[in-house]
């Protein structure tokens, strides 16, 4: 039944995409056989009115009809140009995550269920929603305490969003599995793994306690950083479906004239923004992955305040070293070293030639060195780098793609603040300091320390590992003497699984047949 529902939901999504002209707006290069036939049918199904609009507008209409789950899917795919291509990723990034608000009474019910206390006990005033997105909406509220009245922002999860997302997610997995089965070239991009990543990130985003934890972690990391902060969390009024945080009285970072009128220097803010992001990335390995201009404010003290941390990114020590070394290699024009770093990290399969890869890297680096520093984009450099690595079978690294996408956004905001923004000059103090600390003698010391720590942990586990190895050896000996046998329960389970598989196949054929009949009548 679950599989049937997934097929039906997928059919509906395909119908909406076809009618709104989204499929017709996609390139048909390389399509053959059944895929080309389906594409031609989709073009015939498109509304005539859709042919006069841009693809981004067609996407917006289709997503609006399909609902919140598809908004999140499009937001996620906008961060994966390696999967959907640069052009489509740009169109997806233009989609606004704005939905109709749900009644304030429903919001109060969710807060009371999540915290265990009525809203009137938690807040002295609770206002109507001022903003609504696919997963949650925000309400202004006030709290009376010993220090007087303080204003807070209350973010409440949309009713029914979890159930709807989980149902739609089955369709997303179905498409991913079909892509891996029918399109061998897509396996390098790991579509099923992408669907799992979407599932995990959205689960996190739908639990307000985890967003509160992200705010708290970033606040601790940046406590002593100049020019940047995040709102304080009110943990007493935070639960699974609600997070209460400090209300930010500030100017949107995109309102340049208002910033100047308030006495803030946009040029200085552009440097603070990029340096803050690089500190979070290189030093902490934890960054706000949705730092667009709508989520950034400047408070009265001139500090940049980042809100809405539903999406975050993490980089391990290896990924941070990889990033720093390739940036340093491009600066020094050491393309051989940039290539070697990719192979050392295991990102490019060993059967490829390092010198050939270095040649491809040079094709990216040399044109950059012919430009002025003000026109060189670090984000564009990383984009070109990931495009080249595709030629060398480099597997998708979701954490690096998310970093690259976030860097595009942050760099764009910095250039909005300062049209003559020099990315390399602004980032040098942070990147240079990190390289000095982590790629010189200090790196050797840190590696030795980590090695000793790992060896100590392994020594602690040695008795348990020896016991497991002995038990495994005995089981293998027994299998070699007696052969591999299934108990009755296992055999029965295998039979049931095979029956389900056959049943799912028959259901799929019926669904496809019904869809063909439906399309025929529509035509």
Are the C-beta atoms of residues 126 and 143 closer than 8 Å to each other?
no
Distances (CA, A) of 384 to 289, 346, 396: 20, 19, 14
> What value, to the nearest 5°, has the Cα angle with vertex 292 and ends 287 and 294?
125
SS3 333: coil
Are the C-beta atoms of residues 107 and 137 closer than 8 Å to each other?
yes
Write out 264-282 in H/E/C secondary structure: CCHHHHHHHHHHHHHHHHH
Distances (CA, A) of 323 to 37, 248, 399, 427, 436: 43, 33, 11, 13, 14
DSSP state of 249: -
Structure tokens at 102: 């749900």
Structure tokens at 424: 């390399």
The sign one gets for the Cα dihedral 459, 463, 464, 470 is positive
Identify the CA nearest to 298 among candidates 339, 334, 249: 249
Question: What residues pair up with 234 in beta bridges, in sequence order?
Answer: 244
> What value, to the nearest 5°, has the Cα angle with vertex 70 and ends 64 and 73?
140
Active site residue 299: no
Q: Which of 91, 168, 207, 290 is catalytic?
A: 290
Cβ atoms < 10 Å from Cβ of 364: 19
Q: Which residues are catalytic?
A: 290
């Amino acid at each position: 039944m679950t599989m049937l529902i997934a097929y039906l939901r997928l059919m509906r999504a395909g119908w909406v995409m076809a009618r709104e002209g989204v499929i017709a707006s996609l390139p048909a290069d390389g399509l053959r056989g059944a895929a080309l036939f389906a594409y031609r049918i989709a073009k015939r199904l498109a509304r005539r009115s859709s042919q006069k609009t841009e693809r981004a507008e067609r996407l917006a209409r289709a997503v609006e009809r399909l609902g919140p789950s598809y908004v999140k899917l499009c937001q996620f795919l906008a961060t994966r140009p390696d999967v959907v291509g640069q052009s489509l990723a740009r169109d997806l990034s233009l989609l606004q995550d704005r939905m109709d608000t749900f009644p304030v009474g429903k919001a109060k019910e969710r807060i009371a269920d999540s915290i265990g206390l009525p809203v009137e006990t938690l807040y002295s005033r609770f206002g109507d929603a001022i903003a609504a997105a696919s997963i949650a909406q925000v309400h202004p509220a006030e709290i009376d305490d010993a220090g007087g009245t303080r204003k807070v922002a209350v973010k409440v999860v949309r009713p029914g969003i979890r159930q709807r997302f989980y149902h739609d997610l089955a369709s997303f997995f179905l498409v991913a599995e079909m892509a891996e089965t029918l399109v061998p070239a897509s396996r390098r991009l790991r579509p099923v793994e992408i669907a799992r990543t979407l599932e995990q990130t959205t689960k996190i985003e739908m639990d307000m306690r985890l967003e509160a934890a992200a705010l708290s972690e970033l606040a601790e990391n940046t406590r002593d950083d100049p020019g940047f902060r995040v709102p304080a969390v009110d943990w007493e009024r935070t639960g699974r479906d609600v997070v209460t945080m400090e209300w930010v009285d500030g100017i949107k970072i995109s309102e340049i004239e208002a910033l100047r009128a308030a006495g803030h220097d946009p040029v200085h803010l552009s440097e603070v923004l990029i340096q803050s992001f690089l500190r979070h990335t290189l030093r902490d390995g934890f960054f706000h992955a949705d730092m667009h201009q709508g989520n950034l404010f400047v408070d009265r003290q001139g500090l940049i305040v980042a809100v809405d941390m539903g999406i975050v990114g993490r980089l391990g020590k290896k990924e941070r070293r990889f990033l720093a070394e390739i940036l340093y290699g491009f600066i020094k024009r050491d393309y051989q070293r940039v290539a070697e770093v990719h192979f050392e990290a295991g990102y490019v399969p060993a059967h490829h030639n390092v010198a050939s890869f270095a040649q491809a890297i040079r094709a990216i680096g040399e044109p950059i060195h012919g430009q002025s520093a003000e026109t060189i984009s670090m984000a564009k450099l990383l984009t070109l780098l990931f495009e080249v690595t595709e030629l060398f079978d480099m597997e998708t690294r979701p954490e690096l793609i998310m970093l690259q996408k976030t860097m595009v956004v942050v760099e764009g905001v910095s250039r909005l603040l300062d049209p003559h923004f020099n990315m390399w000059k602004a980032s040098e103090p942070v990147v240079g300091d990190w390289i000095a600390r982590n790629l010189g003698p200090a790196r050797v010391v840190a590696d030795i320390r980590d090695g000793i720590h790992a060896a100590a942990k392994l020594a602690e586990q040695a008795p348990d590992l020896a016991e497991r190895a002995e038990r495994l050896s005995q089981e293998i000996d027994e299998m070699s003497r007696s052969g591999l046998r299934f108990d009755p329960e296992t055999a029965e389970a295998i039979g049931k699984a095979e029956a389900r598989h056959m049943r799912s196949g028959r259901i799929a054929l019926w669904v496809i047949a019904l869809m063909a009949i439906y399309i025929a009548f529509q035509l």
